[in-house]
Amino acid sequence: MDTTATSAPAHHRSQRTDNYAGHDYYGVDELLTEEHLLARDAVRDWVKQEVSPIIESYSDKAECPMHLFKQLGDIGAYGPSLPTKYGGGGMDEIAYGIIMQELERGDSGIRSMASVQGSLVMYPIFKYGSEEQKMKYLPKLGSGEFIGCFGLTEPDHGSNPSGMVTNLVDDGDAYILNGAKMWITNSPIADIAVVWAKDPEGKIRGVIVEKGMKGFSAPEIKGKLSLRASITGELVFEDVRVPKKNVLPEIASLRGPLSCLSKARYGIAWGAIGAGLDCYDSALRYSLEREQFGRPLAGFQLQQKKLAEMITEITKAQLLAWRLGSLANKGKATSAQISMAKRNNVAMALDIAREARQIHGGMGITNEYPIMRHMTNLETVLTYEGTHDIHLLITGHDITGIQAFS
């Protein structure tokens, strides 16, 4: 795969213009700073220029637009809220959320590229890594020179990661790593993988596995009907010798990977609003232009009900995300609060995609419009980073004190 190209080849470009305009029914923009708005407009411009013209083609062919990894680094989409010293952007959590929203407005797969790199690879190295590990990996990950992936899920352990079987055996100055990870975003193209495995004492440790280590392979998972512009694979470890200096020293429990997931889920709570907004924007435009029975579709009560409910749900999701962002800026957002926002906002976006699909009639099933792509993408978003069900059980646990999922 070509990782050096800086732009998409011509056969992936479409002439369609992206007329997206944001929607802000409750004036949430007034709650944002100048810096947030600048970040939002910059990423929106970038998406219109670099993502919208090519995304249908890449998604259709199930190819990953590799040239965008570097560009995402250039605009500063990897770890925007990490310190600049370590390749981040030094911004606040709301800026991070807004960037994810604009990326996902383009495509959930593009947002996933950025989420995984920033929140699941850079964040654990930043939070739990040694100074040497930080200096070695973070600047290169932040610029997009390195691509990273995050291995937690296993073939037999999805919602239940604590049951993982991937393990480390002590071998002097190294560990011997065995096991397999499944459904790993970016794995076939990654330079490094942050892998979670059990040490001889049964504690969950994070290790940095580098491409090319003997016994390590990352085959691609084909046939995905969702998130098609994002590449997904396995991680297979057969007696891989991982030097002890590649172990993240500051963490030895499931709290490690879960804290990364909290960070990424927070971004998804914002990101999903972007996908919902794009579907709503397209449906509103289409229903005003398309006439049946001598008037615009938007003039029929049934269609107005759909549109009015969409903007109501979007507005609620925007307020939820903004409040969550304000809590996160003070370091006060709990993982249960993040679960609630991720669950609500992703389901909201998926519902909107389905309704918007109907408003577009037959045109809605084609790739002339972004609706079906968002809809199928959101099926993954509903499941990864904690399924819709599990997040509900997290809220249930939080309010009753009784854990119902194991």
Partner 1 sequence: MKILVCISKVPDTTAKISFTDNNTAFNTSGVQFIMNPYDEWYALVRAVELTEDGKGETTVINVGPAANDAIIRKGLAIGADKAVRVDAEPKSTHQVAEEIANYAKDKGFDLILTGKETIDYNGSELGAMVAEMLDQPYVSYATHMEVEGTTASIKRDIEGGVELLEVDLPAVVSAAKGMAEQRIPNMRGIMMAKRKPLETVPASAGAEHVAVKSYELPAAKGSVNLIDAENMDELVRLLHEEAKVI
Write down the H helix ranges in 24-178: 34-46, 52-61, 67-75, 93-106, 108-115, 123-128, 131-143
Cα–Cα nearest to 384, from 87, 72, 119, 179: 119
- Cα separation of 273 and 332, whole Å? 22
Angle (CA) 358-364-369 rounded to 5° is: 135
Restricted to residues 180-209, the positions that interact with ligand FAD (CB under 6 A) are 183-185
Is residue 385 part of the annotated active site? The answer reads yes
- Is residue 36 helix, strand or coil? helix
387 binds ligand FAD (CB under 6 A): yes
Q: Give me the least distance between CB of 110 and ligand FAD, in Å please.
A: 13
Cα–Cα nearest to 65, from 146, 10, 3, 119: 3
91 binds partner 1 (CB under 8 A): yes
Q: Give me the least distance between CB of 287 and ligand FAD, in Å please.
A: 31
Binding piece for ligand FAD, criterion CB under 6 A, among 32-40, 82-90, 235-243, 384-392: 384-392
Q: Give me the least distance between CB of 99 and partner 1, in Å please.
A: 7
As a dihedral over the C-alpha atoms of residue 360, residue 363, residue 367, residue 368, rounded to 10 degrees, the angle is -90
- Cα separation of 313 and 303, whole Å? 16
Q: Give me the least distance between CB of 328 and ligand FAD, in Å please.
A: 21
Question: Residue 45 binds which one of partner 1, ligand FAD, none, with CB within 5 to 8 A depending on kind?
Answer: partner 1
Radius of gyration (C-alpha) of the chain in whole angstroms: 21
* Amino acid in the structure at residue 144: G
383 binds ligand FAD (CB under 6 A): yes
151 binds ligand FAD (CB under 6 A): yes
Site track 144-163 with partner 1 (rule: CB under 8 A), x = hit:
--------------------
271 binds partner 1 (CB under 8 A): no
- Cα separation of 190 and 218, whole Å? 9
Binding piece for ligand FAD, criterion CB under 6 A, among 52-60, 152-160, 234-242, 298-306: 152-160
Site track 59-78 with partner 1 (rule: CB under 8 A), x = hit:
---------------xxxx-
Pairing of strands 192-198, 148-151: parallel
Residues near ligand FAD, by CB under 6 A: 116, 149-153, 158-159, 183-185, 227, 232, 380, 383-385, 387, 389-390, 393, 405
Residues near partner 1, by CB under 8 A: 19, 21, 34-35, 37-39, 41-42, 45-46, 49, 74-77, 80, 84, 89-91, 95, 99
Provide the annotated active-site residues.
385
